[in-house]
């Protein structure tokens, strides 16, 4: 029974890291896209860039909170602190 809980915790932490990765990737794509579209006065790309920034920040924040919850449930915070 304990082994299944550890597997579930592993995937919980893994998907938290995936969320953080894609969140930072979308944010890094959204910023230059928004800046370039401001220079070119392209409204469609401005909204696309802002949408990517907002979606990226949302994924980054939810992934970070999920990662913190994973570390709390696995006991990693108690033994070594949050890295």
Number of domains making up the chain:
1
- The DSSP symbol for 42 reads -
Q: Is the pLDDT of residue 24 over 80?
A: yes
Per-residue pLDDT averaged across 35-64, rounded?
91
78: confidence class by pLDDT, cuts 50, 70, 90: low
pLDDT of residue 80: 55
Domain span including residue 41 = 2-80
To the question of pTM greater than 0.85 for the whole model, the response is no
Task: Evaluate whether 13 touches 35 at the Cβ level (below 8 Å).
Answer: no
Question: Quick one: what percent of the chain has pLDDT higher than 70?
Answer: 80
Q: Is the pLDDT of residue 32 over 50?
A: yes
Per-residue pLDDT averaged across 11-22, rounded?
87
């Amino acid at each position: 029974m304990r082994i299944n809980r550890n597997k579930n915790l592993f995937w919980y932490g893994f998907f938290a890291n995936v969320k953080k990765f894609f969140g930072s990737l979308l944010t890094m794509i959204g910023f230059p896209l928004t800046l370039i579209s401001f220079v070119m006065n392209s409204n469609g790309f401005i909204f696309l860039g802002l949408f990517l920034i907002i979606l990226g920040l949302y994924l980054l924040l939810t992934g970070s909170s999920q990662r913190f919850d994973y570390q709390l449930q696995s006991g990693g915070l108690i033994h070594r602190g949050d890295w």
